[in-house]
Amino acid sequence: MIPTISFQTSARFGLWLWVPTVLFTVSRQTILLEFIQGIVLWAVLILVPIGLWLIQSLKQDQNRLLDSIKPLILAAGLLSAVSFALPPGAAAGILQFPWWLVTGVVAFSGLKDFLKNPFASRWQTSLAVAQGYLFVGGCWLLADRLGMNVLHFSQEIILLTGMHFHYAGFTTTLLAALVGRQFQQTGRMNSAQIHWGYWLVTLGVTVATPIIAIGITAVPLLEVIGAVFLAVSLMVMGLLMGLEIAPQFKQPAKTFLWISAGTSFFSMTMAILYGFSEFYELKAIEIPFMVITHGLANTMGFATCGLMAFYLSRNTQAGESLQS
């Protein structure tokens, strides 16, 4: 029998193992690729397990599909990390496959829950979309490790797309779901200001990312429209988190949420500037600069602090009874 460990334990091990894992997987590629890999592995080893614990804490009934990947997620994450130590190809793809499988199970779980009661609420829809986005990210990471030529994109773009769907896709949309659930629990969704603000947030996180993807592949104008739409919606979410939800939290969750909310304005401003720079071919902001500034701010500030705030808050409320 395979021993079962919780998503929380997987995240704790991932936190301890992230630095040695990143150092181990340095493969003498470009500094940009290695930096992106480090950000990707932060999501794989730490943020996704925390996110899955939060997803289970939101569900009313036991989710056997998510339970089934508890024994696998840490091993799958470490194998994913090892795959980055190898050149793209069959061997690296085989090592990446377990993570792809984990993301597929997460997505199927979200789809199954969504089909039980389609569009039951905006936060529940966001939750299902977040789980689907994780699988899209898993597919792009697998394509990168297999060395697949996807739409003639460079290796950096393919890996960046995988990173994008783990962060702008999974963690951001999950945060939107958590925000909505908090408003529902406190009865604040009845406020017209919060109602319409949250409506913009959910529309942005669920629709803007596919628009950006279409824009990158076919219509550059759509990339700008999608980037601006997503950025504005996340700034609104930052306001909702910082002004409406953070005051309800105890320390240190309150501080984490304020950091997340504040970071959203910096990182989204960078996203808007980059979108216009690319559309008008100004080349004022290059990808390496965006990865270091926007990418790092999103990773450590917005995503990590945001998830930690809700994790600490829900863990405090639920106690040991919700640990899984």
User: Where are the chain's structural domains?
Assistant: 7-322
Task: Using the predicted structure, report yes or no on whether residue 259 has a pLDDT greater than 70.
Answer: yes
Model confidence at 224, in pLDDT bands (50, 70, 90)? confident
| Range 199-219 average pLDDT | 85
Lowest pLDDT segment from 113-127, 161-175, 212-226, 228-242 = 212-226
Give the Cα separation of 58 and 181 in Å (integer): 8
The neighbour count for residue 172, using CB atoms within 10 Å, is: 28
**The token pair that represents 317 in the structure block:** 């409320």
Instruction: Among 18-32, 39-53, 261-275, name the most confident range.
Output: 39-53
Task: Using the predicted structure, report yes or no on whether residue 191 has a pLDDT greater than 50.
Answer: yes
How much is the pLDDT for 291? Answer: 87
Overall residue count recorded for the chain in this entry:
324
Give the Cα separation of 278 and 270 in Å (integer): 12
Instruction: Determine contact, residues 155/89, Cβ cutoff 8 Å.
Output: no
Give the Cα separation of 121 and 226 in Å (integer): 23
Instruction: Determine contact, residues 137/164, Cβ cutoff 8 Å.
Output: yes
Instruction: Determine contact, residues 38/22, Cβ cutoff 8 Å.
Output: yes
Percent of the chain residues topping a pLDDT of 70 = 94
User: Minimal CA–CA distance to 133: which of 167, 175, 85?
Assistant: 167
Model confidence at 324, in pLDDT bands (50, 70, 90)? very low
The neighbour count for residue 177, using CB atoms within 10 Å, is: 26
| Range 131-152 average pLDDT | 94
Q: What is the pTM of this model?
A: 0.92
| Range 278-291 average pLDDT | 82
